[in-house]
Amino acid sequence: MKKMNRVLTILAGLAFVIALSFGSAGPVHAQTINGAGASFPYPVYSQWAYKYNQITGVQLNYQSIGSGGGIRQIKAKTVDFGASDAPLKKADLDEFGMIQFPMIMGGVVPVVHIKGIKPGELKLTPDVLVDLFLGKITKWNDPAIQALNPGLSIPEKDVTIVHRSDGSGTTWIITHYLTAVSSEWQEKVGASKAVSWPAGVGGKGNEGVASYVQRIDGSIGYVEFAYALQNNLTYIQLQNRAGKYVSPTKESFMAAAANADWQHAPGFYMVLVNQPGEESWPITGASFIILYKDQTNKETAAAILKFFDWCYQHGKEIALNLDYVPMPDNVIEIVQNVWAEEVQHNGKSLWK
Amino acid sequence: MVNPRKNRRYQHNKGDLFFKGLALLCAASVPLLMAGILAQLISSSSLSLKEFGFGFLTSQEWNPVTEVFGALSSTFGTIVSTLIAMIIAVPLGLVIAVFLVELAPPKISAFFGGAVELLAAIPSIIYGMWGLFIFAPIMADHVQPFLDKYFGFLPLFQGAKMGIGMLTAGLILALMILPYISSVSRDVFNMVPTVVKEAAYGQGATTWEVTRAVVLRYSLRGIVGAAFLGLGRALGETMAVTFVIGNSHRISASLFASSNSIASTLANEFTEAVEPLYLSSLVELGLVLFLITVGFQSMAQVWLWSIRKKLAD
């Protein structure tokens, strides 16, 4: 049912974009905002855009072409805003006179396929997870795994790693997590949207990884939170920074989000992994919007800020329905302070 | 007064000239486009050309984190998967064509001929999804265990039986290029003059002898052309390969292992590549594919030319 909702959302978004491209379909005085970038938040952005259009008549044209494409397009000034699953460094933003802010959060869930193991049964620590992805643990009945799961009978099966073959924000988040918990991972592999994986096979997109995991007995992969939830994949319990085992649920994601210290993140460059808190799921990330500080078109710029403000204030339910995690109120306040200070037209602030 | 006849001829000439110019322009646009693509590929990959030089072609490393890139594993995957496809599709395509032209009654021939051509009309994404969801499980549960059991002593058929990987990609490619090879070959076979075939039959030759000594020999040039048409498609095929090849930047002796191809690497990594050197290396990968394709096509031309010369002698 949830999946159905998401499909419908995407269809509605598509129909909306098509209607836009013919121009005549919208209201007469329609203001149009153009954006491009990350595909991970596309379902929620298009749903927001659809609702917002019904209320205000303002049209959002969002091209889900990938974060890399979004950054390239905003740099070339062909769109009004860019969207990226990975934050840009403060220095990069300053070079182009841009700001970024977090719009929506999600996370990544390791999923396994081991005969006889049900969702949420298998417990892993960060160290064991790293050793699995490094290819150091090659059998599922390895003593290190059995010691963590005394009640489970785990078969002697070869471990197959399934990773993303395409560059993606999902990979960015999980490799940053592995880097945060292991210096060996940091040295040997590192963190990026695509890395040189020590072992395993690559599937294209969440659906590619999910189908390989379901296909290959003894496999472990990682997918977006929403994707794991909607497809009933065999997720694991992971030990968090506080030493507690947590399952990937909306609550554990919100807990991680609430504990993040955005106030002290310059340029909102924040890697949300391994957050403190007893309830926090450790592999989370935010998706970002990128804007120019100096806006040339006053009306468009004001419309953009108004739209994102509406999403922050009134878009929470839509986001939760689609299994995303909305930004907490204290973070919204910090973001809007930055808008007021930095986003300008002819030296005048566009947000009060 | 101007002579109306003369005037008309003048206009006629002008029309001819105009048409000639237009045709020339259209013809010239093809090499111009090629040159433009080549120039663009070279200029966009200048960063990685400078950074890695010739080593780009011989390095197996592909690490977006440390920004060290090499084309060897992708090039290897492209060539090996194409090779598997050609080894299967060329003989199979020829046999199908022989059946359609020489053996089958006209009605059956028309039916099977249409069916084979339908294969060519299926979009590659469909091959990819079918490959991943239907064909890969069959490979994993039946084909790979069979190969392992009887040919497992060869390094080619060892390793985990996941159903995806080089062999599966090669087989899907074979299926995709089969209609090109068989339908072009069929057309070529149909052009063999009936008199020649009847003369051979009249001398008491069997169908097999006629096919081998007359039909195949007569159509050799066309067959080579058909094969290269398939080859061109296999080298550049992206979507279907991306779905089933497994996408890892490693070279393995086993055909069961996951691999990648130039086209699949581009499809996977282009959208999220932001760093200039990463992007430039991907473009250079495109340049390598361009050169491989042009290289193979030129080889085909030279070969055709030498065959033509031999036949003329």
Tokens 């929470």 label which residue? A316
- Give Cα B13 distance to the centre of its chain: 44
Q: Which among A160, A202, A215 is the nearest to B136, CB-wise?
A: A215
Q: Do B272 and A204 touch (CB under 8 A)?
A: no
How does residue A10 score in pLDDT terms, banded at 50, 70 and 90?
low
Q: How far apart are CA A227 and CA A326, in angstroms?
A: 17
Residue B2: inside a domain, yes or no? no
Predicted local distance difference test score (pLDDT) of residue B120: 83
Mention every residue, 6+ apart, whose C-beta is less than 8 A from residue B183.
B97, B113, B116, B117, B120
Least confident residue range of A224-228, B132-136, B226-230:
A224-228
- Return d(Cα A326, Cα B48) in angstroms, integer: 41
Which residue, chain included where needed, has tokens 């197959």?
A: A160
- A23 pLDDT more than 50: no
- The answer to whether residue B61 is domain-embedded is no
Distance, CA of A168 to chain centre? 9
Give residue A185's pLDDT band: very low, low, confident or very high (50, 70, 90). Answer: very high
Contacts of A72 in chain B (CB under 8 A): 274
B7 pLDDT higher than 60: no
> Is B48 a domain residue?
no
In a domain, B18, yes or no: no
Cα distance between the two ends of chain A: 41
**CB spacing of A166 vs B163 below 8 angstroms:** no
Mean pLDDT score of chain A, rounded to an integer?
87
pLDDT digits (tens, 9 = 90+) for A271-318: 888 888 889 999 998 999 999 998 888 888 899 999 999 999 999 999
Pairing relation of β-strands A123-124 and A237-239? parallel
> CATH number of the domain that B300 lies in?
1.10.3720.10
Q: Is the pLDDT of residue A17 over 80?
A: no
**Long-range contact list for B273-276, CB < 8 A, 24+ apart?**
B273/A68, B273/A167, B273/A194, B273/B64, B274/A67, B274/A68, B274/A71, B274/A72, B275/B64, B275/B67, B276/B47
CA–CA dist B162, B244 (Å, integer): 10
Q: How many domains does chain B have?
A: 1
Q: Which residues of A touch B (CB under 8 A)?
A: 65-69, 71-72, 158, 160, 165-169, 189-197, 200-204, 208, 211-212, 215-216
- Is A202 close to B268, i.e. CB distance below 8 A? yes
Q: pTM of the entire structure?
A: 0.80
- Residue A19, pLDDT above cutoff 80: no
> What was the pLDDT predicted at A9?
62
Burial group, residue B16, by CB count within 10 angstroms (0-12, 13-18, 19+) = exposed
Question: Mean pLDDT, to the nearest integer, of A225-250?
Answer: 89
Residue with tokens 């069997």: B206
What are the phi and psi torsion angles at B197 (to 5°)?
Answer: -65, -45
Task: Answer yes or no: do A167 and B249 touch at CB < 8 A.
Answer: no
B161 contacts in chain A (CB < 8 Å):
none
Highest mean pLDDT among A61-70, B86-95, B267-276: B86-95
Place of tokens 């159903």: B163
Asked whether residue B166 is domain-assigned, the answer is: yes
How far is B144 from chain A, CA to nearest CA, in Å?
14
| Residue B17: inside a domain | no
Residues A140 and A234 sit within 8 Å (Cβ to Cβ) = no
Domain containing B240: what range? 66-312
Mutation for A interface: B134, B162, B261, B272, most A CBs within 10 A: B272
List, for residues B167-178, the tens digit of each pLDDT value.
999 999 999 999
Q: Which residue has the tokens 């050197």?
A: B277
Task: Report the residue from B136, B242, B272 with minimal CB separation from A194.
Answer: B272
Instruction: Give the DSSP H/E element, type plus range, for residue A349.
Output: strand A348-349
Chain B nearest-CA distance from A36, in A, is: 12
Question: Which residue of A65, A169, A195 is in closest CB contact with B65?
Answer: A195
Q: Which residues of B touch A204 (CB under 8 A)?
A: 242-243, 247, 267-268
pLDDT at B163 over 90: no
Residue B311 has pLDDT above 50, yes or no: yes
Q: What is the pLDDT of residue A28?
A: 45
Quick count: other Cβ atoms within 10 Å of Cβ B106? 8
* pLDDT band, very low/low/confident/very high, at A47 (cuts 50, 70, 90): very high
Residue A2 has pLDDT above 80, yes or no: no
A165 to chain B, closest Cα gap in Å = 6
CA distance A55 to chain B (A): 33
pLDDT value of position A6: 61
Return the percentage of chain B with pLDDT > 90, whole number: 37
Residue B4 lies in a domain: no
Whether B59 maps to a domain, the answer reads no
Q: Does A160 sit within 8 Å of B247, measured CB to CB?
A: no
Stretch B127-149: mean pLDDT, rounded?
Answer: 88
Q: Which of B64, B162, B268 lies closest to A192 in CB terms?
A: B64
Tell me: the pLDDT tens digits for B238-277? 889 988 888 888 888 888 888 899 999 998 888 778 788 9
**Looking at the partner chain, which of B66, B260, B272 has a beta carbon nearest the beta carbon of A168?**
B272
Task: Identify whether the C-beta of residue A28 lies closer than 8 Å to the C-beta of residue A255.
Answer: no
